[in-house]
């Protein structure tokens, strides 16, 4: 399929309570590559199979959670076009100058009805240790830890998810891959801008701007099991898994970083195409949709977020 417009999730900036502990978790356990540390203390990381300079930004703060999620668009003309579309849709935008993050071009930012900040950008420098392009090996250096290949998606909690869905689909060109009608005023959606099962997901919640999890893609189901061994060995708190989703069909483990932010390692998932109909779930089957084997939700998955 042709990929235009919004290409993919580009980066996520996560608030952590202790940077030293967070680096052990994201670098040594999850297996991300530490790219650099900024003058303001932010640390930049990436997965081994990502071409761009960084995809994860850690910022030390007094409260855990997510500051912003950025999406990369095709080119500068596309960024200008999306700015016009957002203005036409009466979405207030602001502009972040190139270089606010190292190697990253100018960004267009806006707050969506769920209370989350989203940014779009067209340019980021290539990584100095990204995937090889000449007689390439399968990885540029031997992966460590859980061997996260990339930042894959995020799940966000907040209100007005129907409006969020309209904004992403009608203005940004995403498609609604799956949804759950949660009853009066409630909605859970899985949205894609590619042929992945999802690139971002939202669940109705009265508190705005909440962060449920950031997901990191692993190459195989066996890699997910290996990640579980690492979690057990290092006493990393596990929410649930290894298990499988009915929604997206991915294999998964949910676990927590030292600040209480939930992470996911994820493998598999179906391919989505623009002509695919939306897959729909009823509330009585939500347990099976989220955790296909257990067929029920655990309390922490619903109630714990940052």
Same-domain status, 158 and 290? yes
CATH number at residue 287: 3.10.180.10
Residue 269 located in a structural domain = yes
In this prediction, residue 10 carries a pLDDT of 98
Same-domain status, 161 and 259? yes
Tokens of 159: 């209100």
- The helix (run of H) or strand (run of E) holding residue 288 is helix 286-290
Sheet holding 210-217, edge to edge: 238-244, 250-256, 262-268, 210-217, 150-158, 200-204, 186-192, 175-183, 279-281
> Which residues have CB under 8 Å from 161's CB, separation 6+?
113, 114, 186, 187, 188, 189, 202, 203, 204
Helix, strand, coil share (%) of the chain residues, nearest 5? 20, 35, 45
Residue 137 located in a structural domain = no
Same-domain status, 176 and 243? yes
Same-domain status, 109 and 219? no
Do residues 175 and 272 touch, judged by C-beta distance below 8 A? yes
Residue 25 located in a structural domain = yes
Same-domain status, 85 and 213? no
In this prediction, residue 300 carries a pLDDT of 78
Same-domain status, 115 and 160? no
Tokens of 81: 């076009």
Residue 128 located in a structural domain = no
Same-domain status, 44 and 189? no
Same-domain status, 73 and 205? no
Residue 262 located in a structural domain = yes
Q: Which residues are marked as active site?
A: 153, 198, 213, 245, 254, 264
Tens digit of each residue's pLDDT, the chain (306 residues): 557 799 999 999 999 999 999 999 999 999 999 999 999 999 999 999 999 999 999 999 999 999 999 999 999 999 999 999 999 999 999 999 999 999 999 999 999 999 999 999 999 999 999 999 999 999 988 999 999 999 999 999 999 999 999 999 999 999 999 999 887 767 899 999 999 999 999 999 999 999 999 999 999 999 999 999 999 999 999 999 999 998 999 999 999 999 999 999 999 999 999 999 999 999 889 888 899 898 988 887 878 899
Same-domain status, 115 and 166? no
Q: Can you tell me the distance from the alpha carbon of 228 to that of 206, in angstroms, rounded to the nearest whole number?
A: 32
In this prediction, residue 2 carries a pLDDT of 55
Same-domain status, 156 and 99? no
Residue 16 located in a structural domain = yes
Same-domain status, 162 and 109? no
**Which domain, by its residues, includes 56?**
6-121
Q: What is the DSSP string of 241-253?
A: EEEE-SSS-EEEE
Same-domain status, 102 and 155? no
Residue 246 located in a structural domain = yes
Q: How many domains in the chain?
A: 2
Residue 163 located in a structural domain = yes
């Amino acid at each position: 399929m042709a990929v235009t417009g919004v290409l993919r999730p580009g980066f996520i900036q996560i608030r952590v309570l202790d940077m030293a502990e967070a680096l052990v978790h994201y670098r040594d356990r999850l297996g991300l590559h530490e790219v650099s540390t900024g003058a303001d203390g932010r640390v930049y990381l990436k997965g081994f199979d990502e071409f761009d300079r960084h995809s994860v930004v850690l910022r030390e703060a007094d409260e855990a959670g997510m500051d912003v999620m950025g999406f990369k668009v095709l080119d500068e003309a596309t960024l200008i076009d999306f700015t016009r579309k957002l203005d036409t849709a009466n979405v207030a935008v602001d502009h972040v100058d190139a270089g606010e993050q190292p190697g990253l071009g100018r960004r267009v930012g806006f707050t969506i009805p769920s209370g989350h900040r989203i940014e779009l950008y067209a340019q980021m420098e290539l990584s100095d240790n990204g995937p090889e392009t000449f007689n390439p090996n399968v990885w540029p250096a031997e992966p460590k830890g859980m061997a996260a290949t990339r930042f894959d998606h995020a799940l966000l909690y907040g209100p007005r998810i129907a409006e969020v869905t309209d904004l992403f689909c009608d203005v940004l060109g995403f498609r609604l891959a799956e949804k759950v009608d949660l009853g009066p005023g409630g909605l859970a959606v899985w949205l894609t801008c590619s042929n992945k099962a999802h690139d971002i997901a939202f669940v109705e919640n009265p508190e705005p701007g909440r962060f449920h999890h950031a997901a990191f893609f692993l190459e195989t189901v066996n890699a997910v099991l290996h990640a579980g061994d690492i979690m057990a060995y290092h006493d990393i708190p596990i929410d649930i898994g290894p298990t499988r989703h009915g929604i997206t069909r991915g294999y998964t483990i949910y676990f927590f970083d030292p600040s209480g932010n939930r992470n996911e390692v994820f493998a598999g998932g179906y391919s989505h195409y623009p002509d695919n109909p939306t897959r729909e779930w009823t509330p009585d089957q939500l347990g099976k949709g989220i955790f296909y084997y257990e067929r029920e939700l655990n309390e922490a998955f619903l109630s714990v977020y940052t």
